[in-house]
Structure 1
Amino acid sequence: MSEAARPSAAQRLPYWELVTMIASLMALNAAAIDILIPALQQIGATLGVETENQRQLAISSYVFGFGAAQIVYGPLSDRFGRRPLLFVGLAIYILASFAAARSPTFEALLVARCIQGIGAAATRVIAVSIVRDCFGGARMASVMSLVMMVFMAVPIIAPNIGNAIMIFGSWQEIFIVNCVFATFVTLWVAARLPETLHPEDKRPLTPRKTAEAFRIVLTNRRSLGYSIAAALLFGVLFGFINQAEQVYTGIFKIGPLFTLYFSTAAFFMAAASFTNSRLVERFGMRRLSHGALCGFIALSAIQLLISGVLGFMPFWLFLPLVILTFGLFGFIGTNFNALALDPLGHVAGTASSVIGFMQTLLGGALGALIGACYDGTLRPLYAGFLLLSLSALVGVLLAERGRMFDRPGEVHLHLPEAEAQTPAE
């Protein structure tokens, strides 16, 4: 029986519910980041943060905890199953959100945010593992695209929710919203999601077996190359998120309603991810993601050139270029993750853990570095875009031994609509 055709306990769920549930688990992470962006200025004023760039640590500390903890959840979930570890992570997330709301100092907030990220790490690792338990190949990429479409819809909504909360309340209420959302998702998962790890795929939790699983992940050329490439591009995304409030309110003087413009780019990322889900089984993951990466590099170079030559970027040009750039990201991130994970179905939990660890920790560190370079202009941001996307291209070439856009044996399918409604082929 092929990986893509393995029966799963998740078949008890309707296809739409499984996809929405997985997306909701991953959306907890996006909600914890993007909902806080409008509150950074008030957090700084309330807790005595001296510099604007220092306020970015409220995001970076979360990303650090989120990235570092992923290395733990995968091996444990391969041994004990997906559900127990998922509930542990959700409980940590809820308690840390409450602690963040009660933080008396900026240092205490950073600790609570780091712990919140540690809890959210379980949702990322296990959500991806569940998808890999149930799907393989291009179908997995299609499902992940649908998941990412919902996941990317959160940055459209979350900053505006955060802005509304800030109008009528304070930044502390933002973390209460995190608590409520996470509690709802926890109850839904507890009631509806069965265990998806196949009994024959459980791995003993011994040093030798764990080291073997890590070796499998780190010595697979395709997985390693695409993981590095995805991490570099997530650095671009985190860099933009870190600087978003300063760019929109500082450079372009948009004011509190900057969240509406920020959401526009997220909307096109979500639309691109949905489009990818409709095209990937026909054209293949490589053609779509490699083409999008080349376009991303070209747009990054154009934006750096314009900002360097003119010394500034008019807003009427900035916004459509940002929309196009991050629209292409919707074709890259999902496919790179699927290409990295596809050969590793027999160690899906550990693979998801290692890949997520590399992507988030490296991407978060690079994003924080880009954010720290903010100097009141767009040049550091665009230089980061170009440098990281070119480096990601090197990762792709490493994964594919220098060949791009297609590979012999990759199947491009267009499945009938009725067939696409079942969780496993």
Structure 2
Amino acid sequence: MTTARPSAPRSPARAGILITAVLAGLAMIGPFTIDTVFPGFASMGRDFGATDAAMQQVTSIYLLSFGLMSVLHGPISDTLGRKPVMLTGLGLYVLATIACALSPTLPVLLAARALQGASAGAATIVSRAVIRDMYDGAEAHRLMSQVMMIFSVAPAIAPVAGGLLLAWGPWPLIFWAIAGYGVAIAVLTAVVLPETLPPQDRHPLRIGSVLSGLFEVGRHPGFARLAFATTFVFAAQFVYIVSAPILMVDLLGKGEQDFWMLFVPLISGLVVGAWLSGRMAGRIDASRLVDGAIALSLVAAGLNLTLVTIAPRLPYAVLGPGLIAVSVAIAFPVLQLLMLDLFPHHRGAAASLATFASLMFNALLAGAISPFVTSSLVVLATSSTVFAIVGSGFWIVHRQLQRPAAHT
């Protein structure tokens, strides 16, 4: 099957600083919603009388609902346009976050988190299609890397901010702060971002049209391989993020204000990797760049397992995850663009399904896998290594199958 050539970028100029910042701000919604709450888990658990396993569902339910709704946000934006979908999602996200702050019980909080997740993806997922609408080739790669570099700071800031907010007041203050961020980024999106999908390029607003776009993307074997490669390579790092409360407090014996010890190395790795990815855009073939990132992820995972086996303590317990983060950030922009470029007329649907597999697995990580792989630092590092190996396998298979097609 031949794939249509991607459409030309709608603006040849480089993205302005303000547009780049707004796109990064939209991407930051996910880490702010997840990581800012981590330091408050202990006080929430005391207020609700909940166990550590029950509190993990606060993250899991968010990721699950985010993942389920992620399938629809992109295709709907292919019919209605990008901005209406993003702004509607942001409005619902703010309301859901306020409901989290006012929750009197854990079940009510979980319901509000589900609504949070269902609406948050409208902005974060569709913003990736916006980047590809505006630019292609090396320029799209650079902008995606710049957005990731700025966005990567969020998981480092978020838990530190959550700890500071707890020092000023009870845990609902964290959700009030997140709601304020949602209002601010919604206003900036409305004022700064252009509508990048003109009416003549939109699909009819019919259920059949939405489903056919999803089906076209989902049945493509190359897309599936790229999606699973992204999912598992990212999971090698993300397992540390969702396991942060248990890792920092139970395994390393630290307190609510000490989460920076994990997140600073992780985020430093993401920033460095995204910077390297952007610098190499247009200079190194995209697939070869991913080859190098995949090799680095395997080396980093092996080093991580070795370090925690020999010296299961800080700072050695966080050096490996930081290096894994470098490899993830190098590969991520390229893998995202490779998936979007397979479907130039269904970029929203491709952005949705590109996120769906990863989010579903991340929800499984947070709710089911994390409690079982955090019995020790060695077990956690082993699970990270397995994810890196599986993700690398999908990429290697994809590369092998693509070579004959390229020759043909």
Q: Does 1:6 align with 2:5?
A: no
* Structure 1 contact 201–347 (Cα < 8 Å) conserved: no
* Structure 1 contact 53–374 (Cα < 8 Å) conserved: no
Decide whether aligned partners of structure 1 residues 207 and 168 sit closer, same or farther in structure 2, where only a CA change above 3 A counts. closer
Cα deviation digits, residues 354-392 of structure 1 (max 9, x gap): 211122112322343331214531133222212211111
Q: Distance in 2 between matches of 1:282 and 1:219?
A: 32
Q: Compute the displacement of 1:6 (Å).
A: 2.9
Q: Compute the displacement of 1:138 (Å).
A: 3.0
TM-score with structure 2 setting the length: 0.92
Q: Compute the displacement of 1:307 (Å).
A: 4.2
**Aligned runs of 1:144-183 on 2, under 5 Å?**
144-183=144-183
Q: Does 1:335 align with 2:334?
A: yes
Decide whether aligned partners of structure 1 residues 212 and 73 sit closer, same or farther in structure 2, where only a CA change above 3 A counts. same
Decide whether aligned partners of structure 1 residues 224 and 139 sit closer, same or farther in structure 2, where only a CA change above 3 A counts. farther
| Ranges of 4+ aligned residues in structure 1 off by more than 6 Å | none
* Structure 1 contact 64–361 (Cα < 8 Å) conserved: yes
- Give RMSD over aligned pairs: 2.4
Q: Does 1:313 align with 2:316?
A: no
Q: Distance in 2 between matches of 1:400 and 1:218?
A: 19
Cα deviation digits, residues 245-296 of structure 1 (max 9, x gap): 2212222223233222123121221222122111122113222222122221
Equivalent in the alignment of 2:233:
233
Q: Distance in 2 between matches of 1:2 and 1:217?
A: 15
Equivalent in the alignment of 1:122:
122
Amino acid at match of 1:380: V
Q: Distance in 1 between matches of 2:207 and 2:89?
A: 23
Q: Distance in 1 between matches of 2:324 and 2:350?
A: 29
Q: Compute the displacement of 1:3 (Å).
A: 4.1
Q: Does 1:29 align with 2:27?
A: no
TM-score with structure 1 setting the length: 0.88
Q: Distance in 2 between matches of 1:14 and 1:136?
A: 12
**Aligned runs of 1:37-116 on 2, under 5 Å?**
37-50=38-51, 52-116=52-116
Cα deviation digits, residues 59-105 of structure 1 (max 9, x gap): 11111111111111112111111111111100110000000000111
| Higher mean C-alpha displacement, 277-286 vs 156-165 | 277-286
* Structure 1 contact 303–382 (Cα < 8 Å) conserved: yes
Q: Distance in 2 between matches of 1:296 and 1:370?
A: 21
* Structure 1 contact 250–376 (Cα < 8 Å) conserved: no
Cα deviation digits, residues 206-235 of structure 1 (max 9, x gap): 344333312321233332211111122333
Q: Compute the displacement of 1:173 (Å).
A: 0.5
Decide whether aligned partners of structure 1 residues 394 and 14 sit closer, same or farther in structure 2, where only a CA change above 3 A counts. closer
Cα deviation digits, residues 161-216 of structure 1 (max 9, x gap): 11100111111001101111110111111122221103332111334433331232
SS in 1 for 2:205: coil
Q: Compute the displacement of 1:334 (Å).
A: 2.2
* Structure 1 contact 4–135 (Cα < 8 Å) conserved: no
List gaps (5 residues or longer) in structure 1: 410-425
* Structure 1 contact 34–158 (Cα < 8 Å) conserved: yes
Amino acid at match of 2:343: L
Q: Distance in 2 between matches of 1:368 and 1:336?
A: 26
Amino acid at match of 1:383: T
Q: Compute the displacement of 1:394 (Å).
A: 2.2
Decide whether aligned partners of structure 1 residues 20 and 2 sit closer, same or farther in structure 2, where only a CA change above 3 A counts. farther
List gaps (5 residues or longer) in structure 2: none
* Structure 1 contact 240–367 (Cα < 8 Å) conserved: no
> How many equivalent residue pairs?
403
* Structure 1 contact 134–196 (Cα < 8 Å) conserved: yes
